């Protein structure tokens, strides 16, 4: 019997429960906004404060997921399809956030908001002020469309670790099916990129090593249920062939610091 890795992504489960909505809810929604910020770090801290004061975990979102042109983050105490429910939640929230208001939102399909995944993970509030290598993008989660066959969700988060060269930067990779269910594929995949689909398989690359001036990768493949199908270390540009092979360009750095690429492949097989 195949071991299934169909664990729901913790952030999405938390967000959906907090907002009273199932994951992957699009269309017109009403957002009960308690705060907005242009900075991912500031909204993470503000969300933490408001969640504690109001007793509502809420959800951090990007207003672009409602079609707004502004690059702005907001913390919403509730997301609902009912205007009346939104007004009730607003009245409660205004006890701790007097400037709170209701925003009508036409949720962009396939967005983080549609999936009920926080645009800024709650852990980002704990990023130390003295970090030097974090960028704004390191604090923001993202969706990678997979050509009409679902999407990959990159949850960028912080994990405290002493003497960590990445200063706690972590990226969880999950697969979102058409129904909105999120299946965790990798708890940590630095620089997750190069996503490619082939039949029921998904492959992508993670940054895993530094050799001379070159970043080396590990290519990983999973089936639609999250079961691993194969791993190729020191490889890039994955492809999945019609015959069920995982192919990539093997990476090797010579003594002179030159990168050499050599074709590699393995047969995909669920484990």
> Where are the domains positioned within the chain?
10-115, 128-267
The Cα 201–Cα 219 span in angstroms is: 13
User: In the chain, pLDDT over 70 holds for what percent of residues?
Assistant: 89
pLDDT band at 25 (very low <50, low <70, confident <90, very high): low
Q: Which residue has the higher pLDDT, 2 or 70?
A: 70
Q: Is the pLDDT of residue 191 over 50?
A: yes
Condensed to tens digits (0 to 9), the pLDDT of residues 35-53 reads: 999 999 999 999 999 999 9
Sheet holding 182-186, edge to edge: 142-145, 151-158, 169-176, 182-186
Q: In the beta sheet, which residues pair with residue 156?
A: 171
For 131, how many CA atoms within 13 A lie in the half-sphere containing its CB?
Answer: 24
- pLDDT tens across 57-99, in order? 999 999 999 999 989 999 999 999 999 999 999 999 999 999 9
Residues 31 and 103 sit within 8 Å (Cβ to Cβ): yes
Q: pLDDT, tens digit, for every residue of 243-253?
A: 999 999 999 99
* pLDDT attached to residue 1: 33
Can you tell me the mean pLDDT for 111-140? 96
pLDDT at 59: 98
In contact, 41 and 128? CB cutoff 8 Å: no
What's the pLDDT score for residue 12?
Answer: 39
Least confident of 70-74, 77-81, 150-154, 179-183: 179-183
Confidence of residue 178 (pLDDT cuts 50, 70, 90): low
pLDDT of 4 > 70? The answer is no
CA distance 2 to 227: 8
Tens digits of per-residue pLDDT, 192-219?
999 999 989 999 999 999 999 999 999 9
Rounded to the nearest integer, the mean pLDDT of the chain is 90
Is the confidence at residue 183, as pLDDT, over 90? Answer: yes
pLDDT on residue 26: 67
Q: Tell me, what's the pLDDT at 24?
A: 52
Percent of the chain's residues with pLDDT above 90? 83
DSSP calls for the chain? -PPP--PBPHHHHHHHHHHT--SS--EEEEEEEEEEES-HHHHHHHHHHHHHHHS---EEEEGGGGT-SS--EEEEEEEES-HHHHHHHHHHHTTT-TT-EEEEEEEPTTSHHHHT--SS-GGGGG--TT-SS--SGGG--EEEE-TTS-EEEEEEEE---TT-TTTTEEEEEEEE-TT--EEEEES--TT-EEEEEETTEEEEEEEEEEETTEEEEEEEEEETTS-EEEEEESEEEEEE-TTSEEEEEEEEE-TTS-EEEEEEEEE----
Query: Would you state the structure tokens that stand for residue 139, as one six-digit string?
Result: 């604090």
- Contact (Cβ atoms closer than 8 angstroms) between residue 229 and residue 251: no
Give the model's pLDDT for residue 27.
Answer: 87
CA distance 120 to 41: 8
pLDDT score, position 50: 97
């Amino acid at each position: 019997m195949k071991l299934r890795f169909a664990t729901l992504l913790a952030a999405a489960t938390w967000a959906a429960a907090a907002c009273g909505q199932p994951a992957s809810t699009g269309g017109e929604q009403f957002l009960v906004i308690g705060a907005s910020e242009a900075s991912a770090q500031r909204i993470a801290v503000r969300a933490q404060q408001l969640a504690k004061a109001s007793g509502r975990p809420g959800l951090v979102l990007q207003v672009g997921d409602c079609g707004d042109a502004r690059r702005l983050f907001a913390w919403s105490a509730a997301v609902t399809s009912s205007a009346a429910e939104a007004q009730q939640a607003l009245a409660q929230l205004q006890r701790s956030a007097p400037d709170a208001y209701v925003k009508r939102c036409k949720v962009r399909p396939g967005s983080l908001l549609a999936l009920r995944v926080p645009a800024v993970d709650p852990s980002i509030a704990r990023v130390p002020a003295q970090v030097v290598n974090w960028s704004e993008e390191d604090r923001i989660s993202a969706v990678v469309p997979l050509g009409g066959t679902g999407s990959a969700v990159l949850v960028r988060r912080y994990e405290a670790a002493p003497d960590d060269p990445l200063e706690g930067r972590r990226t969880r990779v999950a697969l979102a099916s058409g129904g909105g269910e999120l299946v965790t594929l990798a708890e940590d995949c630095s620089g997750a990129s190069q996503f490619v689909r082939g039949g029921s398989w998904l492959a992508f690359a993670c940054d895993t090593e530094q050799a001379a001036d070159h970043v080396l990768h590990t290519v990983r493949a999973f089936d639609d249920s999250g079961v691993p199908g194969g791993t190729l270390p020191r490889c890039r540009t994955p492809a999945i062939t019609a015959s069920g092979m995982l192919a990539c360009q093997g990476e090797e750095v010579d003594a002179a610091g030159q990168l050499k690429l050599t074709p590699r492949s393995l047969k995909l097989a669920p484990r």
